[in-house]
């Protein structure tokens, strides 16, 4: 359970930057721009920022039994799940309001 909490906190620390970048992409690319950015570019950018600004944070996670790769893969799985949820909500809303 502790590892799941740690993965969640790691993901939560990257999601705000990811959303900000993805919303900026949505201005230029609409829903498709948001979707692509949220899933790939925004996520990768938020991890890159974390690499530069919070290197010592990985020591905490490593001491709790989580490698960098485990954090990244787990965060991507959570990110993908959130992506699927957001896309589903957007499609349902479009169906409701287009009638």
Q: What is the pTM of this model?
A: 0.84
Residues 53-97 have pLDDT tens digits of: 888 889 999 999 999 999 999 999 999 999 899 889 888 988 888
What sections of 1-99 are H helices per DSSP?
2-36, 42-53, 57-63, 68-97
**Short-list 42, 18, 16, 34, CA closest to 90:** 34
Q: Is there a contact between 90 and 38 (Cβ–Cβ < 8 Å)?
A: no
Q: Cα dihedral sign for 46, 50, 52, 58?
A: negative
């Amino acid at each position: 359970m502790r590892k799941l909490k740690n993965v969640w906190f790691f993901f939560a620390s990257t999601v705000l930057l990811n959303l900000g970048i993805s919303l900026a992409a949505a201005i230029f690319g609409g829903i498709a721009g948001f979707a692509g950015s949220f899933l790939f570019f925004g996520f990768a950018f938020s991890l890159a920022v974390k690499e530069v600004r919070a290197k010592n944070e990985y020591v905490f996670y490593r001491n709790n039994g989580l490698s960098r790769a485990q954090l990244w893969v787990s965060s991507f799985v959570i990110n993908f799940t959130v992506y699927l949820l957001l896309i589903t909500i957007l499609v349902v809303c479009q169906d409701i309001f287009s009638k």
